[in-house]
């Protein structure tokens, strides 16, 4: 039965304002979702995560519910357009980077596979932040996404819990966002909030009074933690998230007949990184309150919980001073101390203790001891966890460690963002790949078909043209669609090495000054937010923005090289940028990027990877073969050995390699200063590289430049390049999050799919 948008708008579509039309379609989607119903079953997964970077919902939900074409046509028939509504929709700001986007892909796949599951998190009002560029620098403002009619996506359930903190209690409200599955029933995101929130505590930009917890608790994701109040606020946030989750989980299990001793038959919890760790002591506390012994409570909780590690960067594995917990959540501290005693009784190794000699509580250590599964997010990452970073734990619990290589949902990152490629694929192999991603492999049959290879190039050109038009119309940026689109888009971090790409671009410029020009114009796109308190990351953004001005000011060079740093890179922009990319830059220092998921999105959309043998790049290389990827740089073993020996001296590379030296010197040179460069920022960046370069940019510089030059030369053989594109798309099937989730379920959760559609 066709649903009419006019039934929801109450008036002809051509008379509606954009908001009326948006709300009309949104309510239509909400009804269709409710009619489909939700995956249910005896056992349910609670995927607890501080972030869900879900992206815009309208088109995604229409596609998943099978309503896209129909709604598009109804709008067109009335002279309106779905594309306009897509632009009108404001993107939810509930996540940060890969970790949050992964959680969003996972809830899509969970619903699609029919698995009973909720995502559980917090309803941040101002999200992470909105990035603005002024004077070649990043500044931040609140991302007030809830002002844009999203109350209708995020529905209040009228359900409340009480959460106790040291000295006061707060009442929560649970909100729900529907998660539509593709050709299946739906799932839910359940986000908790406080009614006492008061945005007036925000001062200028994103700073606010960090002491007024009732008023600020759910304002921002990752509030500035450069001071103690900011760090304690994170403890409050995390406890609020899991205290609500624990009450929800126990209530739902009991409602289904659990006597709590058998909780693991009713509930599985996946702890997404260390942020939700306190759910472990909180559940133990609640179970013991109900008369279950401490020892049995530990066993029950362990059978329920699994933990996912997303990084080996030490600073990301949270530790909280005991005093913070004492202040924010005093009721939890005795439980954590008992858990420490439990560990100390069994294991003497200092590394595995929960509370260390300085009274710091190691959250990951709680997760590892008291979960039944510990997983990394790509093969290499899991091996590094087992053999290096978490080796003492692996000795104790070899059976707990397992790998679950990340994935992406092909609905959003294929069908929705790349309609041109989707049509070509559907014409060629049918549309089963949308649900059974391995089907893409059938495209390999076409790898020697010149007509097909031409069609692939035509799709890419169309996407590049679309992105070029978007930049011109919405951002006032002009790029050349016949240039090579070389893209590095991901959060800004020194280990991801945007600075390496920048040094390369500077040396291309230096070559041009000497009269050596590229074969074809190149546009280098960066998209990256830096954490507000991460000084060097902001310096790198400043260097990129300033260098882009240097190029723009040079009429000869700017014909051949353009650097575009895209403001406020988010999911919606990624959806436009990725289908247009020729080159996918995945150039982290080997061993440091746990997986990466952008690498998978680019691959699916036919970009060719230029990458180190890090994270999931290793698996991409295995799948596509050496002809279809460009790898360079030190191996993870070499990097780990250097760290161990502490023998890396960046200055030696600088002294030895004149090309590198010239590029580094450029950072603080006259041209940068004449184009808005700030000597303080650029001086600090240059000093950092020369005195430390902790993420070893310099040793990989030469190999990176050579490999990139070879790649750009190969790009000129268009047919052979198109074959590489095809091989990337054809072998992307493994990276469907449907595969990842099926593996989690098989090995960790053991949920029964709800097949009753
Ligand atoms: C990210 C990792 O950096 C990235 O490599 C991975 O693909 C993603 O998580 C999803 O697993 N915060 N973000 C991450 O780790 C942490 C911690």
| Residues 617-663 pLDDT 10s | 999 999 999 999 999 999 999 999 999 999 999 999 999 999 999 99
- Report pLDDT for 152: 73
Is residue 588 helix, strand or coil?
Answer: coil
Cβ atoms 414, 459 nearer than 8 A: no
Query: 313-327, 446-460, 519-533, 548-562: which has the minimum mean pLDDT?
Result: 313-327
Interface confidence, given as ipTM, is 0.99
Q: If residue 406 lies in a helix (H) or strand (E), which one and from where to where?
A: none
| Over residues 595-615, mean pLDDT | 98
| Over residues 474-489, mean pLDDT | 98
User: What does the alpha-carbon distance between residue 528 and residue 544 come to, in Å, rounded to a whole number?
Assistant: 11
- 282 backbone dihedrals φ, ψ, rounded to 5°: -65, -45
CB-ligand 1 contact for 24 (6 Å cutoff): no
With bands split at pLDDT 50, 70 and 90, how would you rate the model's confidence at 124? very high
What percent of the chain has a predicted confidence (pLDDT) above 90? 97
Cβ atoms 299, 262 nearer than 8 A: no
- Report pLDDT for 314: 80
- 130 backbone dihedrals φ, ψ, rounded to 5°: -95, 130
- Report pLDDT for 675: 98
What are 137's strand-pairing partners? 134
Is residue 289 helix, strand or coil?
Answer: helix
Cβ atoms 147, 71 nearer than 8 A: no
Residues 6+ apart with CB under 8 A from 266: 42, 43, 44, 252, 253, 256, 257, 258
Cβ atoms 738, 113 nearer than 8 A: yes
Task: Give tens-digit pLDDT for 685-717.
Answer: 999 999 999 999 999 999 999 999 999 999 999
| Over residues 35-39, mean pLDDT | 97
Q: Which of 604, 610, 595 shows the shortest CA–CA distance to 575?
A: 604
CB-ligand 1 contact for 97 (6 Å cutoff): yes
Q: Is the pLDDT of residue 151 over 90?
A: no
| Over residues 527-531, mean pLDDT | 98
Q: Is the pLDDT of residue 461 over 60?
A: yes
CB-ligand 1 contact for 310 (6 Å cutoff): yes
Tokens of 158: 């009228």
Catalytic residues: 310, 490-491, 496, 597, 601
Tell me, in angstroms, the distance from the centre of ligand 1 to residue 601's CA: 15
- Report pLDDT for 611: 98
CB-ligand 1 contact for 100 (6 Å cutoff): no
Ligand 1 atom at shortest distance from the alpha carbon of 493: 3
Tokens of 56: 């815009």
- Report pLDDT for 328: 98
Cβ atoms 241, 122 nearer than 8 A: yes
With bands split at pLDDT 50, 70 and 90, how would you rate the model's confidence at 494? very high
User: What does the alpha-carbon distance between residue 589 and residue 499 come to, in Å, rounded to a whole number?
Assistant: 12
Q: Which of 605, 590, 693 shows the shortest CA–CA distance to 640?
A: 590
Pocket test for ligand 1, best of 50, 53, 96, 99 (most atoms within 8 A of CB): 99
Tell me, in angstroms, the distance from the centre of ligand 1 to residue 523's CA: 27
User: What does the alpha-carbon distance between residue 701 and residue 657 come to, in Å, rounded to a whole number?
Assistant: 10
DSSP H helices, 128-261, are: 213-216, 228-255
CB-ligand 1 contact for 615 (6 Å cutoff): yes
Nearest CA to ligand 1 atom 12: 99
Query: 220-229, 318-327, 549-558: which has the minimum mean pLDDT?
Result: 220-229
With bands split at pLDDT 50, 70 and 90, how would you rate the model's confidence at 316? confident
Tokens of 463: 């996407």
Tell me, in angstroms, the distance from the centre of ligand 1 to residue 594's CA: 6
Task: Give tens-digit pLDDT for 52-101.
Answer: 999 999 999 999 999 999 999 999 999 999 999 999 999 999 999 999 99
Tell me, in angstroms, the distance from the centre of ligand 1 to residue 739's CA: 18
Q: Is the pLDDT of residue 757 over 70?
A: no
User: Residue written as tokens 């080997």?
Assistant: 590
- Report pLDDT for 1: 61
Task: Give tens-digit pLDDT for 247-297.
Answer: 999 999 999 999 999 999 999 999 999 999 999 999 999 999 999 999 999
Cβ atoms 564, 405 nearer than 8 A: no
User: What does the alpha-carbon distance between residue 413 and residue 390 come to, in Å, rounded to a whole number?
Assistant: 33
Query: 34-48, 145-159, 196-210: which has the minimum mean pLDDT?
Result: 145-159
| Over residues 720-729, mean pLDDT | 98
Indicate the DSSP class of residue 205: T
User: What does the alpha-carbon distance between residue 552 and residue 117 come to, in Å, rounded to a whole number?
Assistant: 50
CB-ligand 1 contact for 406 (6 Å cutoff): yes
Ligand 1 atom at shortest distance from the alpha carbon of 615: 5
Q: Name the average pLDDT for the chain.
A: 97
Pocket test for ligand 1, best of 49, 595, 741 (most atoms within 8 A of CB): 595
pTM of the model: 0.98
- Please report the DSSP string for 14-60 in residue order: GG--HHHHHHHHHHHHHHHHHHH-B---SSEEEEE-S-------HHH
């Amino acid at each position: 039965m066709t649903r009419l948008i006019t039934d929801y708008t109450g008036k002809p579509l051509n008379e509606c304002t954009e908001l009326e039309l948006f709300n009309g379609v949104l309510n239509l989607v909400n009804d269709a979702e409710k009619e489909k119903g939700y995956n249910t079953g005896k056992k349910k997964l609670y995927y607890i995560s501080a972030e869900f970077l879900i992206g815009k919902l309208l088109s995604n939900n229409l596609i998943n519910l099978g309503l896209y074409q129909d709604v598009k046509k109804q709008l067109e028939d009335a002279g309106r357009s779905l594309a306009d509504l897509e632009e009108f929709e404001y993107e939810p700001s509930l996540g940060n980077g890969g970790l949050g986007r992964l959680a969003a892909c996972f809830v899509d796949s969970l619903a699609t596979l029919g698995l009973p599951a909720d995502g559980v998190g917090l309803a941040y009002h101002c999200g992470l932040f909105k990035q603005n560029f002024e004077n070649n620098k990043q500044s931040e403002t609140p991302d007030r996404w809830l002002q844009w009619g999203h109350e209708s996506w995020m529905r209040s359930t009228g359900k409340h819990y009480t959460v106790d903190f040291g000295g006061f209690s707060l009442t929560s409200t649970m909100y729900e966002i529907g998660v539509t599955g593709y050709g299946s029933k739906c799932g839910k995101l359940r986000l908790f909030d406080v009614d006492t929130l008061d945005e007036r505590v925000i001062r200028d930009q994103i700073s606010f009074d960090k002491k007024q917890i009732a008023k600020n608790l759910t304002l921002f994701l990752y509030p500035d933690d450069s001071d103690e109040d900011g760090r304690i606020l994170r403890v409050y946030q995390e406890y609020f998230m899991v205290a609500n989750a624990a009450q929800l989980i126990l209530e739902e299990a009991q409602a289904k007949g659990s006597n709590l001793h058998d909780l693991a038959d009713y509930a599985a919890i996946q702890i997404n990184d260390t942020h939700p760790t306190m759910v472990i002591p909180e559940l133990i506390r609640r179970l013991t309150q109900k008369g279950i012994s401490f020892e049995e409570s530990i066993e029950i909780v362990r059978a329920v919980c699994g933990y996912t590690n997303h990084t080996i960067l030490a600073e990301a594995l949270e530790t909280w001073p005991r005093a913070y917990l004492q202040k924010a959540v005093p009721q939890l501290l005795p439980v954590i101390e008992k858990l420490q005693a439990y560990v100390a009784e069994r294991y003497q190794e200092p590394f595995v203790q929960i509370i260390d000699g300085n009274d710091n509580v190691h959250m990951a250590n709680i997760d590892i001891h008291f979960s039944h599964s510990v997983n990394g997010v790509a093969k290499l990452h899991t091996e590094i966890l087992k053999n290096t970073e978490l080796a003492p734990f692996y000795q104790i619990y070899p059976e707990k460690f397992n790998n679950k290589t990340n994935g992406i949902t092909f609905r959003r990152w294929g069908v929705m963002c790349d309609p041109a490629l989707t049509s070509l694929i559907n014409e060629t192999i049918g549309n089963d790949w949308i649900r059974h991603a391995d089907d893409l492999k059938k495209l390999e049959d076409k790898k020697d078909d010149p007509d097909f290879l031409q069609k692939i190039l035509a799709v890419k050109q169309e996407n590049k043209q679309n992105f070029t038009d978007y930049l011109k119309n919405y951002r006032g940026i002009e790029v050349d669609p016949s240039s090579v689109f070389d893209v590095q888009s991901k959060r800004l971090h020194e280990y991801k090495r945007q600075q390496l790409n920048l040094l390369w671009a500077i040396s291309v410029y230096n070559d041009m000054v000497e009269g050596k020009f590229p074969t074809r114009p190149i546009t280098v796109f960066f998209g990256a937010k830096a954490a507000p308190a991460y000084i060097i990351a902001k310096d790198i953004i400043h260097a990129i923005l300033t260098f882009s001005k240097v190029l723009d000011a040079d009429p000869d060079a700017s014909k051949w090289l353009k650097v575009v740093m895209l403001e406020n890179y988010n999911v919606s922009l990624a959806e436009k940028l990725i289908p247009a990319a020729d080159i996918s830059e995945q150039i982290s220092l080997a061993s440091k990027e746990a997986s990466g998921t952008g690498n998978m999105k680019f691959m699916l959309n036919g970009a060719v990877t230029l990458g180190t043998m890090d994270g999931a790049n290793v698996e991409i290389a295995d799948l596509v073969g050496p002809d279809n990827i460009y790898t360079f740089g030190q191996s993870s073993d070499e990097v780990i050995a250097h760290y161990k020996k502490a023998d890396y001296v960046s200055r030696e590379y600088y002294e030895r390699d004149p090309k590198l030296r010239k590029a580094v010197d450029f950072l603080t040179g006259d041209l940068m200063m004449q184009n808005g460069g700030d000597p303080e920022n650029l001086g600090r960046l240059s000093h950092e590289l020369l005195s430390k370069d902790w993420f070893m940019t310099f040793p990989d510089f030469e190999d990176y430049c050579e490999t990139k030059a070879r790649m750009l030369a190969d790009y000129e053989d268009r047919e052979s390049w198109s074959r590489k594109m095809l091989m990337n798309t054809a072998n992307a099937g493994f990276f469907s999050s449907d595969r990842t989730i099926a593996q989690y379920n098989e090995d960790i959760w053991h949920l029964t799919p709800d097949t009753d559609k």
